[in-house]
Amino acid sequence: MPDSMTEQLQQDMKCEGLLECFHGLKQLDKECFQALVAADEPLTVDEIADAVDRERSTAYRAVQRLLQTGFIQKEQINYDQGGYYHVYQPTDPSKIAGDMQRVLNDWYAKMGQLIQEFETKYEEAAESPPEMET
């Protein structure tokens, strides 16, 4: 991932790059998300692990990161005889896009504020004559 904004703008990004850009998700996280999108029904962690060819514990950590970002949802399925298990499915893309748009708007507002502070600080410094030592 490029370090500067200029480098990011020059890079040929794909929409999946937003997962990394906005939330710092890893390649495995993206693979797990894509496996859930491709599935016809919600998947267990074991099924996700099989789909991405990783150990269950590794897939579980990726699933937890996806849950924290709101990219996927968890549902509890109860057994008739007691006990339960969880399945996961992707969040509605329009909700994810709306959340990313809000993050971008917040970031844009913050950058505008910092640019204004930069301008004010250095205009004042340029207008003030240097102090003379006596």
Q: What is the mean pLDDT of the chain?
A: 86
Are both 63 and 105 inside the same structural domain?
no
Instruction: Specify whether 30 is located in the same domain as 86.
Output: yes
E-assigned strand segments in the chain: 72-78, 84-90
Report residue 92 as tokens.
């509605």
Going from the C-alpha of 100 to that of each of 39, 48, 70, 105, the distances in angstroms are 23, 25, 10, 9
Find the mean pLDDT for residues 31-35: 94
Q: Are 64 and 118 members of one domain?
A: no
Q: Is 85 found in the same domain as 43?
A: yes
In our burial notation (b when 16+ CB lie closer than 10 A, e otherwise), range 37-61 reads eebeebbbbebbbebbebeeeebbb
Task: Please tell me the total count of domains within the chain.
Answer: 2
**Per-residue pLDDT, 8:** 65
* Co-location of 20 and 79 in the same domain: yes
DSSP state of 60: H
User: What is the pTM for the complete model shown?
Assistant: 0.70
19 and 49 assigned to the same domain: yes
Enclosing domain of residue 2: 1-91
Residues 3 and 51 grouped into a single domain: yes
